Amino acid sequence: MRLGRRDPSQEFDPTQPLVATGNLRRRHFVSRAFQCLAVAAAVGAVAVLVIVVTAVVSHGASAINWDFITKGAPEGVGPDLVGTAIIVGIATLIAMPVGVLIALFLTEYAGRRSTRPVQLLLDVMNGMPSIIIAVFAYILIVEATKKESGLAGAFALSIIMVPLIARGTQEVLNLVPRPQREAADALGVARWRSVLTIILPAARAGIVTSTLLSVARAAGETAPLLLLSSLFKDETFQFNPLEPLPNVPVRIFQLSEEANPEGFTKAWGLSLILIVIILALGLGSRALLNRSKRKMS
Amino acid sequence: MSATPPAGSASLKLARSNRQSDSRKRADRVGDLSLRLICTAAAVLAAIVLILIAKEVIEGAQPAFAKYGLSFITHEEWAPPLEVFGGKGLILGTLITSAMALAIGAPVAISIAIFLALLAPDGVRNVVSPLVEMLAAVPSVILGFWGLLILGPFLAGTVEPFLHEWLGFIPLFGTPQTTGASIFNAGLILTIMVIPIIASVSRDLFMAVPSDLQDGAAALGSTRWEVIRGVVLPTTLSGMLAACLLGLGRALGEAIAVSQVVGGGTESHISLFRNGGTMASLIALQFPSAISALHYASLYYLAALLLVIGVAANLAASYVGHRFGGAPAR
Amino acid sequence: MSIDDQTFDTQPQSTNGRAAAPSRVRIRATPLPGVIGEPAATASAAESHVHIAPETVFDAENVGIFYGAKQALIDVTMRIRRGQVTALIGPSGCGKTTFLRSLNRMNDPVPGFRIEGEILYHGHDIYGSNVDTVEVRRRIGMVFQKPNPFPKSIFDNIAWAPRNLGMRQGLHERVEKALRGAALWDEVKDRLKDSALGLSGGQQQRLCIARAIAIEPDVLLLDEPASALDPIATGAIEDLIHSLKGRFTIVIVTHNMQQAARVADRTAFFSLETRGEKPIGTLIEFDETEKIFGSPRDPRTRDYVTGRFG
pLDDT digits (tens, 9 = 90+) for C72-101: 999 999 999 999 999 999 998 889 999 999
Q: Is residue C24 predicted with pLDDT exceeding 60?
A: no
Contact C104 B330 (CB under 8 A): no
- Give partners of A (≥3 CB pairs < 8 A): B, C
Task: Tell me whether A139 touches chain B (CB under 8 Å).
Answer: yes
Give the pLDDT confidence of B249-280 residue by residue, as tens digits. Answer: 999 999 999 999 998 888 888 888 888 899 99
Sheet holding C249-253, edge to edge: C124-125, C113-121, C56-67, C70-81, C278-288, C266-275, C85-89, C249-253, C219-223, C140-143
Q: Is residue A297 predicted with pLDDT exceeding 60?
A: no
CB B193 within 8 A of CB B143: yes
**Nearest CB neighbour to B219, from listed C137, C151, C152:** C137
Task: Tell me whether B116 touches chain A (CB under 8 Å).
Answer: yes
Task: Tell me whether C122 touches chain B (CB under 8 Å).
Answer: no
Q: Which residues contact B242 (CB under 8 A, 6 or more apart)?
A: B201, B316, B317, B318, B320, B321, B325
Distance (Å, rounded) from C-alpha C131 to C-alpha B176?
54
Distance to chain C for A5, nearest Cα, Å: 9
**Nearest CB neighbour to A12, from listed C124, C132, C216:** C216
Contact A20 C139 (CB under 8 A): no
Model pLDDT, residue B267: 83
> Percentages helix, strand, coil for chain C, rounded to the nearest 5?
30, 25, 45
Model pLDDT, residue B139: 96
> Does B50 or C24 have the greater pLDDT score?
B50
To the nearest whole percent, how much of chain B has pLDDT over 70?
92
Q: Is residue A189 predicted with pLDDT exceeding 50?
A: yes
The alpha carbon dihedral of C94, C96, C97, C102 has a sign of positive
Amino acid at B50: L
Which residues of A lie closer than 8 Å to C, measured between beta carbons?
Answer: 5, 7-9, 12, 14-15, 17-24, 27-28
Contact A34 B128 (CB under 8 A): no
Distance (Å, rounded) from C-alpha A281 to C-alpha C221?
53
Model pLDDT, residue C158: 96
Task: Spell out where chain C has E strands.
Answer: 56-67, 70-81, 85-89, 113-121, 124-125, 140-143, 219-223, 249-253, 266-275, 278-288
Q: Is residue C220 predicted with pLDDT exceeding 60?
A: yes
Model pLDDT, residue B167: 85
Residues in chain C within 8 Å Cβ distance of B328: 151
CB B149 within 8 A of CB B156: no
Residue B238's pLDDT band, with cuts at 50, 70 and 90, is very high
Distance to chain C for A294, nearest Cα, Å: 25
Q: How far apart are the first and last CA of chain C?
A: 20
Contact B212 C148 (CB under 8 A): yes
Pick from B119, B125, B220, B237 the residue to mutate for testing the C interface (most C CBs within 10 Å): B220
Mean per-residue pLDDT over chain A, rounded = 87
Q: Is residue B35 predicted with pLDDT exceeding 90?
A: no
Q: Is residue B141 predicted with pLDDT exceeding 90?
A: yes
Give the pLDDT confidence of A79-88 residue by residue, as tens digits. Answer: 899 999 999 9
Residues in chain A within 8 Å Cβ distance of C132: 18-20, 24, 28
Contact A278 B139 (CB under 8 A): yes
Model pLDDT, residue B1: 44
> Does C28 or B316 have the greater pLDDT score?
B316
Residue C309: count of CB within 10 angstroms of its CB = 9
**Nearest CB neighbour to A7, from listed C124, C136, C169:** C169
Superfamily of domain B69-324: MetI-like (1.10.3720.10)
Task: Tell me whether A93 touches chain B (CB under 8 Å).
Answer: no
Residue C309's pLDDT band, with cuts at 50, 70 and 90, is low
Task: Tell me whether B132 touches chain A (CB under 8 Å).
Answer: yes
Within the 165-194 window of chain C, which residues sit less than 8 Å (CB to CB) from chain B? 165
Residues in chain A within 8 Å Cβ distance of C48: none
Give the pLDDT confidence of C184-211 residue by residue, as tens digits. Answer: 999 998 999 999 999 998 999 999 999 9
Residue A151's pLDDT band, with cuts at 50, 70 and 90, is very high
Query: What are the residue ranges spanned by the domains of chain B?
Result: 1-60, 69-324
Model pLDDT, residue B191: 97
Q: What are phi and psi of C86, to 5 degrees?
A: -110, 125
Query: How far is C-alpha B230 from the geometric centre of its chain's CA atoms?
Result: 29
Model pLDDT, residue B8: 55
Report the chain A residue with the minimal C-alpha distance to residue C45.
A17
Residues in chain A within 8 Å Cβ distance of B50: 121, 124-125, 128
Residues in chain C within 8 Å Cβ distance of B235: 151
Model pLDDT, residue A11: 56
Count residue pairs from A and B with Cβ separation < 8 A.
Answer: 253
Mean per-residue pLDDT over chain C, rounded = 82
CB A168 within 8 A of CB A134: no
**Nearest CB neighbour to A23, from listed C123, C165, C169:** C165
Mean pLDDT of all residues in B79-96: 89
Distance to chain A for B177, nearest Cα, Å: 18
Residues in chain A within 8 Å Cβ distance of B29: 190
Mean pLDDT of all residues in B202-223: 94
Residue B326's pLDDT band, with cuts at 50, 70 and 90, is very low
Residue A5's pLDDT band, with cuts at 50, 70 and 90, is very low
Report the chain C residue with the minimal C-alpha distance to residue A17.
C124
Residue A291: count of CB within 10 angstroms of its CB = 11
Mean pLDDT of all residues in A161-185: 84
Contact A192 B31 (CB under 8 A): yes
- Give partners of B (≥3 CB pairs < 8 A): A, C
Residues in chain A within 8 Å Cβ distance of B134: 49, 279, 282
Model pLDDT, residue A175: 82
Q: Is residue C22 predicted with pLDDT exceeding 70?
A: no
Within the 180-199 window of chain B, which residues sit less than 8 Å (CB to CB) from chain A? 192, 195-196, 199
Contact B221 C160 (CB under 8 A): no
Task: Tell me whether C141 touches chain A (CB under 8 Å).
Answer: no
Mean pLDDT of all residues in C110-137: 92
Model pLDDT, residue C141: 94
Distance to chain C for B242, nearest Cα, Å: 19
Model pLDDT, residue B190: 97
**Nearest CB neighbour to A28, from listed B29, B60, B223:** B223
Query: What are the residue ranges spanned by the domains of chain A?
Result: 1-63, 65-296
Residues in chain A within 8 Å Cβ distance of B148: 256
Task: Tell me whether B17 touches chain A (CB under 8 Å).
Answer: no
**Strand, coil or helix: B147:** helix
Distance to chain B for C68, nearest Cα, Å: 16
**Nearest CB neighbour to A105, from listed B39, B53, B134:** B39
Distance (Å, rounded) from C-alpha B113 to C-alpha A88?
33
In CATH, which of 3.40.50.300, 1.10.150.20, 1.10.3720.10, 3.10.20.740 is domain A65-296?
Answer: 1.10.3720.10
Q: Is residue C42 predicted with pLDDT exceeding 70?
A: no
Mean pLDDT of all residues in B151-156: 91
Q: What are phi and psi of C114, to 5 degrees?
A: -145, 140
Mean pLDDT of all residues in B179-204: 93
Pick from B141, B295, B296 the residue to mutate for testing the A interface (most A CBs within 10 Å): B141
Model pLDDT, residue C19: 38
Q: Is residue A10 predicted with pLDDT exceeding 60?
A: no
Residue B46's pLDDT band, with cuts at 50, 70 and 90, is very high
Give the pLDDT confidence of A18-64 residue by residue, as tens digits. Answer: 888 888 999 999 999 999 999 999 999 999 999 999 999 999 998 88
Mean pLDDT of all residues in C16-33: 36
Distance (Å, rounded) from C-alpha B20 to C-alpha B40?
30
Q: Is residue A253 predicted with pLDDT exceeding 60?
A: yes
Model pLDDT, residue B324: 62
Give the pLDDT confidence of B113-128 residue by residue, as tens digits. Answer: 999 999 999 999 999 9
> Does C19 or C152 have the greater pLDDT score?
C152
Distance (Å, rounded) from C-alpha C300 to C-alpha C306?
10
Model pLDDT, residue B329: 33
Mean per-residue pLDDT over chain B, rounded = 88
Which residues of B lie closer than 8 Å to C, measured between beta carbons?
Answer: 210, 212-213, 215-223, 226, 230-231, 234-235, 328-330
Mean pLDDT of all residues in B209-213: 93
CB A28 within 8 A of CB C134: yes
Model pLDDT, residue A89: 96
